[in-house]
């Protein structure tokens, strides 16, 4: 996991009370790390330098210097995000300007989502999908479109999938899920009321849940067993989810490819078996060859 602040947040329950206190202060004000040496930070947070070093070790950094560099990088990324927000769509934008801004937002969203990917978490998610009897998919609005894409992909991989379009049906599928299944919940905001209700039902059934959501603490991330984060970078002006949808689709592609890679040869056979050949227009029963007319062109036979 690339984000040091996310590591702190995720590890908080396993930290000692003193370490947790330091982590909470750093999460609230990450610039503390930039502005203080290890001794100075220890004084500022009322702990020992050994506590700070143990905290860094606990979340995977060999020492305070490496942790500090990682925090500096993350804050720089946040500054870039603020600059990007200044490039929001404006009334006076030309068509060329819109092309540039939307493309830029999508590229940055993919790059930042890549930075948030944790290979160990991803591997656990792939293992859950591999073992699952049924993959249940959940999403509303634009996230439903991503869920539909996932449905078609996993179906080709011969994984039994369930996806319903309306929320009541999704709630019923959540209540029918078991501990032998797995659920993928897509919610950019992490606060979609319908998804929260579904996740509560899934938790009651002991169904493992993978949330694809933005990189912020939210009810959806709190309820999920595994979290795959997208960058929190949607522009305020949007007719629908754009950059977040691109990031969600990218994560689904990664999950799908990694799942197939577990059994590479068998997956190739399966994908070949489920490939649907697209007929050429001339092969269609609706299009038949007829004698050339006076202009020497093929005719199209129609009924009537």
CA 135 to each of CA 39, 97, 239: distance values in angstroms, whole numbers, following the listed order: 50, 41, 30
Q: Answer yes or no: do 63 and 163 share one domain.
A: no
pLDDT of residue 302: 41
Q: Answer yes or no: do 147 and 242 share one domain.
A: yes
Residue 37 included in any domain: yes
pLDDT reading at 119 higher than 70: yes
pLDDT of residue 102: 81
Q: Answer yes or no: do 205 and 268 share one domain.
A: yes
Domain at 57, CATH number: 1.10.10.10
- Tell me the pLDDT tens digit for each residue of 267-291: 888 888 888 887 776 665 555 555 5
Q: Answer yes or no: do 73 and 148 share one domain.
A: no
144, 165 Cβ separation under 8 angstroms: yes
Number of domains present in the structure of the chain? 2
Residue 228 sits at φ, ψ, to 5 deg, of -115, 120
Q: Answer yes or no: do 198 and 66 share one domain.
A: no
3-state class of 135 per DSSP?
Answer: strand
Q: pTM value?
A: 0.69
Structural domain of residue 237, as residue ranges?
A: 119-273
Contacts of 279 (CB under 8 A, 6+ apart): none
Separation CA 257–CA 223 (nearest Å): 26
Residue 303 included in any domain: no
| More reliable by pLDDT, 138 or 234 | 138
Q: Average pLDDT of 203-210? A: 98
Q: Average pLDDT of 204-226? A: 93
CA 9 to each of CA 93, 224, 279: distance values in angstroms, whole numbers, following the listed order: 39, 14, 52
pLDDT of residue 239: 43
Q: Answer yes or no: do 155 and 61 share one domain.
A: no
Q: Answer yes or no: do 128 and 204 share one domain.
A: yes
Residue 89 included in any domain: no
Residue 91 included in any domain: no
């Amino acid at each position: 996991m690339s984000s040091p602040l996310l590591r702190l947040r995720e590890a908080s329950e396993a930290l000692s009370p003193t370490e947790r206190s330091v982590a909470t202060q750093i999460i609230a004000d990450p610039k503390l790390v930039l502005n203080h040496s290890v001794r100075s930070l220890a004084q500022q947070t009322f702990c020992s330098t050994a506590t700070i070093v143990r905290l860094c070790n606990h979340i995977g950094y060999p020492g305070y210097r490496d942790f500090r560099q990682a925090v500096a990088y993350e804050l720089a990324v946040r500054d870039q995000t603020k600059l990007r927000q200044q490039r929001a769509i404006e009334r006076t934008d030309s068509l060329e300007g819109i092309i540039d801004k939307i493309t830029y937002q999508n590229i940055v969203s993919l790059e930042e989502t890549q930075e948030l990917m944790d290979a160990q978490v991803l591997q656990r998610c792939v293992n859950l999908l591999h073992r699952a009897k049924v993959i249940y998919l959940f999403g509303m609005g634009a996230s439903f479109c991503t869920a539909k894409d996932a449905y078609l992909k996993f179906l080709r991989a011969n994984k039994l999938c369930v996806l319903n379009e309306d929320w009541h049906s999704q709630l019923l599928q959540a209540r029918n899920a078991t501990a032998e299944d797995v659920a993928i919940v897509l919610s950019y905001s992490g606060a979609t009321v319908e998804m929260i209700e579904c996740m509560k039902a899934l938790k009651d059934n002991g169904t493992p849940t993978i949330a694809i959501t933005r990189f912020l603490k939210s009810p959806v991330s709190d309820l999920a067993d595994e979290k795959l984060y997208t960058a929190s970078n949607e522009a305020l002006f949007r007719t629908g989810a754009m950059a977040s949808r691109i990031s969600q689709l990218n994560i689904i592609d990664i999950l799908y490819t990694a799942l197939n890679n577990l059994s590479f040869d068998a997956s190739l056979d399966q994908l070949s078996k489920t490939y649907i050949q697209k007929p050429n227009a001339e092969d269609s029963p609706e299009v038949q060859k007829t004698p050339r007319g006076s202009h020497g062109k093929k005719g199209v036979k129609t009924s009537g």
